[in-house]
Structure formats: C-alpha cells, structure tokens
Amino acid sequence: MQPLSKIFSIGDKVNVKAMDKSNKHIYVSQITDICEDEIIEISFPIHKNKTIYFINGEKLILVIGKQDAVFEFQAVVVEKKYENIPIMRLKVVSEPIRIQRRNFYRLKIVKPVEYRIINNLKDSEEEMPKYNEGILLDISEGGLMFCTKKEMEESDLLELIIDIGINKGLKLKGIIVRKQYNADKSGLYEYGVRFSEINKKARNLLMKYIYEEQRKLLKKGML
C-alpha cells in the first residue's frame, strides 16, 4: 500500500459512511493526523449538532475529494480519544480507489427539474414567475445540464428545484453558460448551467446525492 501521506493531507475533508447497510447516512469529518502503519486520525463527525459515534472494530467507508480526483477506501475504528477535539484512530485496510477523474464528477441522470428565470427580480418588489418544467440530463457539484422547450439566453439567472429525496427538493441558483438547440430532439433546447449561489448545507446534500447515485451505478457495473 502506498503511503497515505502521498495522497492525503491533514485538514482534508472526508465523508464517512458505515459499511453496515442498515445505516445509510453519510457524515462529514476531517483528517487531523496521518500516522504510520496505515493509521489516520479524524475528528468525530457532527450531524445536526450531534456528535456521531462509531464503536471500536466498526468498518467504515471513507471518501475524500482532491483537486483532480475522488478516492474511496475502507477503514476500521481502532481507538477513540476524548481530548479537546475528540478523534477516532482508523486503520486503513484497503488501497484507495480512484472513483472520479475530474474536479466535479458529472452524474448522467434523466429526471424532471423545475426552473424559472429570476433576472433582476426581488421577492419584495414583484411577484416571482411560475416554475417551468425541464428534463435533467446530468449534474455535478459545479453545475448541471437540462433540456426544455423554452428558449432562454446565455447569462440568464435561474432558480432550479431538483428532487434528491428531501422534502420540497433542493433549490439552487445558476447561470446559463451554454445554449444549444437540437432539432433532432423534438425541438428541445439544451442548457449548461453553472451554480452561482450554493451554501455549505446545499453543497453537502448535493455531494451526498451524487455519491449515492454513483455507488448504485458502480454496483450495477454501469461505471
């Protein structure tokens, strides 16, 4: 196994998931130290202001995003330390697998998406327009592509709602950066959108959704 210090750095954000299939939650943590003998230390994950505990011997799946890739590997909890910053010591038991090869993995998925143009609109001054319906074609942490019959212009600011399994859907804002008319696709316009405003909570929800959908495709042998 190659030294972990060549792949990871102290301070890297890490997604933590129990291998126990009954626990489907993905938690966010951070690497606090990289030790010898494939041992790393991470902070206790926090979820909804509550500390998440794992027992010694429990097997975990860890996912870390770097600039040009995302790595997944397995680890086992070997010790917990309750100091100023509680940490868990983990033994890495598998070679890190590179599961993404660019900054933002683009998940190809076809599902409905709602959108509306919000150029120069202020909620308090005028009524917001109704949502239109489109078809999502792919999505990443940085943006998405969708198609619709409605013609819009590059640089239009959109508000979008995407169903990712949470109540009322995930609401995001983005700017149209690419436009293409496809006469061979029933006269639909395709738009590339770059997210312009996305808070930490929304980004984590989006990362979790993309990761879980990618895992499903990997299990089916479709990636």
The pLDDT tens digits of the residues spanning 168-191 come to 789 999 889 889 888 775 789 999
- Residues 73, 96 contacting (CB under 8 angstroms): yes
Q: Which of 141, 140, 144, 175 is nearest to 159 (CA)?
A: 175
Per the model's pLDDT, the better-predicted residue between 188 and 121 turns out to be 188
Q: Tokens in use for 176? A: 């149209």
Mean pLDDT along residues 24-44: 86
- What is the predicted pLDDT for the residue at 125? 44
Question: Do 4-100 and 107-219 have matching folds?
Answer: no
pLDDT band at 114 (very low <50, low <70, confident <90, very high): very high
- What is the predicted pLDDT for the residue at 154? 83
- 53-99 tens-digit pLDDT: 899 999 998 888 665 566 788 999 999 988 788 899 999 998 887 76
- What is the predicted pLDDT for the residue at 101? 44
Residue 96 has what DSSP assignment?
P
- What is the predicted pLDDT for the residue at 171? 93
Ranking 33-37, 89-93, 98-102, 206-210 by mean pLDDT, the lowest is 98-102
Please give the CATH superfamily to which domain 4-100 belongs.
Electron Transport, Fmn-binding Protein; Chain A (2.30.110.10)
The reported pTM is 0.53
Q: For 58, what's the count of Cα atoms within 13 Å in the CB-facing half-sphere?
A: 18
Q: Tokens in use for 122? A: 């202020």
Count of CB atoms within 10 A of residue 64's CB? 18
Domain ranges of the chain: 4-100, 107-219
- What is the predicted pLDDT for the residue at 126? 56
Per the model's pLDDT, the better-predicted residue between 24 and 31 turns out to be 31
Q: Tokens in use for 141? A: 């942490």
Question: Does 3.30.360.10 match the CATH number of domain 107-219?
Answer: no
